[in-house]
A and B are shown apart, each in its own frame.
Chain A
Amino acid sequence: MSNAIEAQMLCKDFGKFHAVDDATINIKSGCICGFIGKNGAGKTTVMRMLTGLMKPSRGKILVLNEKPGCISARIGFLPQNMRFDENETARSVLSFFAAVKNVDVSESIQFAKTLELDLDKKVKDLSPGNQRKLQLIVVTGGNPELLILDEPTAGLDPTGVQQVREIIRLLNQRGCTVFVSSHILKELDDLCNQVIIIDRGRILYQGPCAKCYEFETGGLTDTICRDLKDQVNIHSTADGNLLSAEIEKQSVPDVLQFLFSKNIPIYEVRRSGFESLYNRYVREAAQ
């Protein structure tokens, strides 16, 4: 599978401040890739460089095998906290952007109907969730091959978050590669099949979304992680009585069997998703 985004040794400096530092990013075509990092980690800066809005201080970028900025017809970018002119109707917003992109507005109108969006309302009369729907419809006009979404659920209520997630899934099913940023880990947990973690401008992890399981036990020894690695070939970390392992669902009985064999009581097993992965990498980076 080819890469939709390839960025090598990407740097962006604002004076002496390194907003992005030697970031190498590869995003596979057809996937939904989550971009995780706390506020100010450099997510938006990376996304803006990928769309051609910002020039990198150093490094090389290829988006859909071309230089960013030359391919705007093939990508859709939804900036964070975007607001259309509130006195315009949703229909006029759609018509303007369809005309600018030289695409058929009827497709966007049809999509709006699917999402139950009232196009005759003024933007100011639409709820934040519906405003975000309108923005997503505008951005997806002309069926872009790549969608870059910068915190698309920021400021939305739980229903709005759910709706945006469904739209992202729908677009991905249509064949669109989605690169979506957020600092809310749970939000991306079920959605993404690839993840990139960024902290202080540095990429800490990129790869498949390895699922993490946590085992709350009645006591662990220092050697348990090493034994687990040696005997069952599972990488794990221990923190007090908590054992964390990056494993798929089917490997959970193997860990349980191993712990039982060592006479270690188990009180709870839970899936922790991105959270422990993120915490681990950020903790390691800080150390």
Chain B
Amino acid sequence: MKETFLLFKRDLKRILNKRFLFVLLFMVLFQSWFIRGSGYKDKAGQNFEFSYMGFTFAFLILGSLAALSLNFDAISKERQNKVMDLLLTSSLSKTQIATGKLMASLALSLLFSLLYNLLVTLIYCLFRTGGAVIRVALHNVLPVAALIFIYSLMGLFLSVLFRSSRTSFIVSMACGLILMPRIFEMFVDGICKGLKLENAVSNLIMFASPAMIMSGLTGYNGASNLLTGIGAFLIYTVVLTVLFFTVFRNQDEKSYNE
């Protein structure tokens, strides 16, 4: 347990770097550009749609790329630098290393979401929007964190699967693009029309997009969407965690120089 906590502390410290700061500021600036351009600065908090879009638009568009870019090399970089070999020959097990990374990803998701919502709230304060904004921001912290966590888990899994950081980055970005709500919707629509599936089924399939899960988790779209969102989040978390642990534990630690 002590070793896992040490790894968690180390991984968190490593994640909270210039890249984290850059991605956070970029997302906040993108959101503030949207707030200013769309006129939401006067309307946020007045109705649910504005409250949702007024805080999460940046994540609907770039959330996948932002979150994946923070985690795509969590394992692959350590493998390339051979630090993984040293960790594994220093009385640490793969389970401990994976648990440390998982805990760091969870902490990162919560911290990123908290800071993001805080900074967006400050932007609204600059535009002199009403006090309801703080309540909305607090309401959005967990759904946004859930979206980041799903993509972080995906990033962890991809960084185990693809041993080179470069390949992992390319695949991460490709996954991020495919899972963007608008693009993913087109895929789902096409598949459902091709298979002649009902609307209810296509709506359910849409929850494979983490952005839809985030939308469901806000509770703005009704209790049934909230429950589906919770279910989809749990499925994603369990499946990706199991895949991440299983693949990592069963892989040989090959050398990448030879």
CB-CB < 8 A to A260: which residues of B?
none
On whether the beta carbons of B88 and A97 are closer than 8 Å, the reply is: no
A85 CA to B86 CA, complexed, in Å:
13
Q: How many residue-residue contacts, CB under 8 A, span A and B?
A: 77
- B78-102 contacts to A, CB under 8 A, are 81-83, 85-92
User: Number of A residues whose C-beta is below 8 Å from B?
Assistant: 33
Known contacts: A87-B17, A100-B3. The answer to whether A77 contacts B89 by CB under 8 A is yes
Chain B's closest residue to A77 (CB) is: B89
Contact flags (1/0) for A47-88 with B, using CB distance below 8 Å?
Answer: 010011111000000000000000011011111111111010
Closest approach, in angstroms, between the C-beta of B253 and any C-beta of chain A?
A: 4
B6 CB within 8 Å of chain A: yes
A40 CB within 8 Å of chain B: yes
On whether the beta carbons of B252 and A55 are closer than 8 Å, the reply is: yes
A83 CA to B81 CA, complexed, in Å:
5
On whether the beta carbons of A99 and B6 are closer than 8 Å, the reply is: yes
B255 CB within 8 Å of chain A: yes
Contact of A53 among B6, B92, B252 (CB under 8 A): B252
CB-CB < 8 A to B258: which residues of A?
39-40, 44-45
CB-CB < 8 A to B17: which residues of A?
87
Contact flags (1/0) for B238-258 with A, using CB distance below 8 Å?
Answer: 000000000000001111011
| B contact face: mostly helix, strand, loop, or mixed | loop
B135 CB within 8 Å of chain A: no
A257 CA to B93 CA, complexed, in Å:
62
On whether the beta carbons of B82 and A79 are closer than 8 Å, the reply is: yes
Contact flags (1/0) for A203-242 with B, using CB distance below 8 Å?
Answer: 0000000000000000000000000000000000000000
On whether the beta carbons of B83 and A83 are closer than 8 Å, the reply is: yes
On whether the beta carbons of B81 and A100 are closer than 8 Å, the reply is: no
On whether the beta carbons of B257 and A80 are closer than 8 Å, the reply is: yes
CB-CB < 8 A to A76: which residues of B?
89
B36 CB within 8 Å of chain A: no
B10 CB within 8 Å of chain A: yes
Closest approach, in angstroms, between the C-beta of A195 and any C-beta of chain B?
A: 21
A208 CA to B89 CA, complexed, in Å:
29
Contact of B86 among A39, A40, A87, A138 (CB under 8 A): A138
On whether the beta carbons of B89 and A72 are closer than 8 Å, the reply is: yes
On whether the beta carbons of A83 and B254 are closer than 8 Å, the reply is: no
B14 CB within 8 Å of chain A: yes
CB-CB < 8 A to A77: which residues of B?
85-86, 89
Known contacts: A53-B252, A80-B257. The answer to whether A72 contacts B88 by CB under 8 A is yes
CB-CB < 8 A to A51: which residues of B?
85, 89
On whether the beta carbons of B91 and A100 are closer than 8 Å, the reply is: yes
Closest approach, in angstroms, between the C-beta of B22 and any C-beta of chain A?
A: 15
Chain A's closest residue to B85 (CB) is: A79
Closest approach, in angstroms, between the C-beta of B55 and any C-beta of chain A?
A: 33
- B55-93 contacts to A, CB under 8 A, are 81-83, 85-92
**A-B pairs with beta carbons under 8 Å apart, 16 shown:** A44-B255, A44-B257, A44-B258, A53-B85, A54-B252, A54-B253, A72-B88, A72-B89, A78-B86, A79-B82, A79-B86, A82-B83, A82-B85, A83-B81, A83-B82, A96-B10
Known pairs A48-B254, A82-B82, A100-B3; list 10 more (Cβ under 8 Å). A44-B255, A44-B257, A53-B85, A53-B88, A54-B254, A80-B255, A81-B82, A81-B257, A87-B17, A135-B86
Q: Which residues of B contact A (CB under 8 A)?
A: 3, 6-7, 10, 14, 17, 81-83, 85-92, 252-255, 257-258
